[in-house]
Chain A
Amino acid sequence: MTLFIEQLINGLQLGTMLFLMASGLTLVFGVMGLINLAHGSFYMVGAYATALVTAATGSFFVGLAAGIAVAAAVGALVELIVIRRLYHRPHLDQVLATFALILIFSEGTRWIFGSSPLWLNPPAMLSGSVTLPGGLRYPIYRLVIIAVGVAVAVGMYFLITRTRLGMRIRAGESDREMIGALGINIARLYTLVFAMGAALAGLAGALVGALQSVQVGMGEPVLILAFVVIVIGGIGSIKGALYGAILVGVVDTLGRVFLPGFFRQFMSPSEAAGVGSAIAAMLIYIMMAAILAFKPKGLFAANE
């Protein structure tokens, strides 16, 4: 039972990370109609900037702030130079151009910083673990990540529903031409939304970078997962991104831990390990295909 609860919390932690990635991705799609494969690059940029600044200043929090700022700045720059030429293009061109951006970011980073990973440790005050009710020891840092994810989700909710910027974002989602006609500077709104998404991705990269290593290509697996999340949730829907992220995070984590054991009930241990891990790795994609087969626009389709 403790194992189950521990893995459930691990799943939640993965889910909140995915939400940070997916919310930016889904906002950019909802408001600008853009598929951005390069979102994983901002995750990587955030992690690198955090690792470098943390190493230079000795403070994780200064590094984290720098990581978010650098990711936002790089996002704004990329939007100004490349992305804004893509809004009126077909999805195919968007996929291709942002695929090219991935190559440029990944290889550029490898050129500058080399292939070996950078190390980033969680701050000392967050290292250690706490005892949860029920006697389970759990690392503080992972709980903090969950808390950050929840805080961002709540913050996004207020931003979208209660502020003027949120009103503009919602207006942009429902009718792009109209808000332009009402005198809103669309170009600036787009840059802002894109930079915001990049900042969230950078935050996710920095937080996860302290758990794993900071290296080239770290954004790609997360990117694909984030796409699964927003497709399951319904592209353009923040609520969908939240539920999708939690669902994917929990299902993926629990599947990897418990499926091999499940198959061991009626298979030899070595076979069960093989089949179990193979099915577990495919599980979220199977789930996504099943959901799309019945709800072709995801669970919470935004623009209907």
Chain B
Amino acid sequence: MNKSNTSTLAPQPGLPTPAASWYDRKGLVQIGLLAFLLLAPLALYFLGHIYYVNLASRITLIAMAAVGLNLAIGYGGMVSFGHAAYFGLGGYVAGISAYHAFDFTPVIGWPIAIPGSDSMLVIWLAAILLCGLLALVIGAISLRTTGVYFIMITLAFAQMMYYFANSWPTYGGEDGLPIFLRNGLPWVDTNDALTFFLICFGGLVLSLAITSRIMKSRFGAALTMARLNDTRLATAGVSPYPIRLVAFVISAMITGLAGALYADLNGFVSPSMLSWHMSGELMVIVILGGVGRLYGPLAGALLFVMMETLLGGMTEYWQLFLGLVLLFVVLFAKHGVMGWLAGRERHE
């Protein structure tokens, strides 16, 4: 456990930096969450419950996607209702690349031949780059708007991707695209549930570390100021637009990488990864955990997926109860699970 992971907030100009230590209440909660997510699947794996290891991988990847979204919503104040676009694009990169590697056909034949690949390293790189590129285009247009318009235009772009995937027959259209063999890594057996979980866990820890590092940098301070008072940021000589855009792109890259892994976990990618329900779920997880809290997405994903699994086991209509819990959280528990477990942030 790295000490630098324990502080979630950029130092705010004019305020003393909150003293962060790994042994205070927040630090313990954060270590506890990570340790639970790591140790529970380990124990269950050796007891032979592979199902729960895959469930833990699912939680980890959803959490990672939400970590990306949290950077946009929580830290940047950009309420994106379209992050499924990046989650799904990452998934489709994994699916399409594996499909062509399986068929020995090129992904693109012209002007340069790009072959498919079943190596995760190539797929991750491609997913990160393509999601970054997509977010650069979407962000450059969307960030010209604010408020509800921003929410709606990001939704519109995600819907474009959704309908495109839905009606493009080459890669399965609305039926989706199966990944017959899980993509591989050199020297590692990715088909083993525990190994795959550890890869996902590594991705989550890395994305938490990157977010934490970003928010402690001067860039993070500028992003915080862009959220709180962009006029003041502009007065200080920093233009808010590029700051937001870069944060939006990084946010999409993290979510996209999570999507690529998620497709490999399920062995399947379909337009539902791009649907507005997916965007909504990711937002729900960020809120459940606590907006703008570094470990909020992890807490939110744990709660969300466990609720889904438990309630889903009891009743077919579990979404009804999910809705009720969610409504309760939004109306009465504004600070999410992290606010409840670890106390409020100082600036609140």
Contacts and interface: CB of A to CB of B under 8 A. Distances in A.
Contact of B159 (A96, A103, A104, A285): A285
Contacts of B331: 82, 85-86, 97
Contact of A99 (B153, B163, B317, B326): B326
Contacts of A103: 319-320, 322-323, 326
A150 interface: no
A278 B326 contact: no
A293 B152 CA distance: 13
Contacts of B160: 282, 285-286, 289
The majority secondary structure among interface residues of chain A is helix
Given A82-B327, A104-B323, A286-B160, A96 B287 contact: yes
B172 to A, nearest CB: 12
B317 A227 contact: no
Contact of B153 (A106, A278, A289): A289
Contacts of A224: 155, 159, 276
Interface in B148-166: 148-149, 151-153, 155-157, 159-160, 163-164, 166
Interface string A67-90: 000000000000000100110000
A35 interface: yes
Contacts of A111: 317, 320
A70 B294 CA distance: 44
Nearest to A287: B156
B59 interface: no
B330 A292 contact: no
A224 B159 CA distance: 9
Interface residues of B, number: 44
B59 to A, nearest CB: 20
A176 interface: no
Given A92-B79, A99-B326, A231-B153, A108 B167 contact: no
B73 interface: yes
8 contacts: A103-B326, A107-B317, A107-B320, A231-B152, A278-B163, A296-B144, A297-B145, A297-B149
Interface of B: 73, 79, 81, 141-142, 144-149, 151-153, 155-157, 159-160, 163-164, 166-170, 276, 280, 283-284, 287, 291, 317-320, 322-324, 326-327, 330-331, 334
Interface of A: 29, 35, 82, 85-86, 91-93, 95-97, 99-104, 106-108, 110-111, 224, 227-228, 231, 235, 274, 277-278, 280-282, 285-286, 288-289, 292-293, 296-298
